[in-house]
Amino acid sequence: MAHVILGLLLITPQSFYDLIKGFEAGVALFYSASSGSIKRALDTLLTRGLIEIASTEAGGRGRKVYRVTDAGRQEFHAWMTGELTGADLETAALSRLYFLGLLEPDERVPALRRVTDRIENDLARLSTLDKHLRDQEVPEEHRDIATHQRATLDYGIAAHRFTLDWFRDHLNRHERRSHPAL
């Protein structure tokens, strides 16, 4: 979540309440967060020196507006241009896609390639599991359960194939923009 907040603050400095609205308006498409988790992430980013308070409104509420520091820009850039980590591929891929426009144009294709590489690796693992399970004998008393577990794996494989095709298509469009002669 910290990197998503950094991305939102790189677009424009925002208050805590603006960030909540930013999550509700767009980020919620791929990442859900409570106001409490956003507040904790803001506090952590402040403590680490990745963001700072740009201004505080005078008055009772003292609304604080946050902005990204140079260290925060470097952290965000390293995350955007690094390998995708974590178990949740969809969130990792879509969060990078959402903020891809914050990278320099020549950095976007390599970032998209890292996404497609991760999808390919995850799909290969699911396909290996699929092959392994096809060779397993399921006891009669577990066949109903195994049928639906199998359907879950089939869904995962189909979802990964769709995601891979979609990201490859998006990557190809970016490559054509980067190299019009292709």
In a domain, 86, yes or no: no
pLDDT tens-digit profile of 19-58? 998 888 888 888 888 889 999 999 999 999 999 988 777 6
pLDDT tens-digit profile of 105-143? 999 999 999 999 999 999 999 999 888 888 878 788 888
In a domain, 88, yes or no: no
In a domain, 127, yes or no: yes
In a domain, 145, yes or no: yes
Same domain flag for 70 and 102: no
pLDDT tens-digit profile of 47-106? 999 999 887 776 657 788 999 999 999 999 999 999 998 888 898 999 999 999 999 999
Query: Which residue range(s) make up the domain with 73?
Result: 2-81
- Pick the last residue of a domain from 47, 81, 115: 81
- Pick the last residue of a domain from 56, 81, 106: 81
- Residue 41 belongs to domain with CATH number: 1.10.10.10
Mapping DSSP onto H, E and C, the string for the chain reads: CHHHHHHHHHHCCEEHHHHHHHHHHCHHHCCCCCHHHHHHHHHHHHHCCCEEEEEECCCCCCCEEEEECHHHHHHHHHHHHCCCCCCCHHHHHHHHHHCHHHCCHHHHHHHHHHHHHHHHHHHHHHHHHHHHHHCCCCCHHHHHHHHHHHHHHHHHHHHHHHHHHHHHHHHHHHHHHHCCCC
What the block records as the tokens of 24 is: 């509700």
- Pick the last residue of a domain from 81, 112, 131: 81
Closest CA to 124 of 148, 82, 157: 157
What the block records as the tokens of 41 is: 């992430």
Same domain flag for 76 and 123: no
The predicted model scores a pTM of: 0.85
Same domain flag for 77 and 32: yes
In a domain, 133, yes or no: yes
What is the number of domains present in the chain?
2
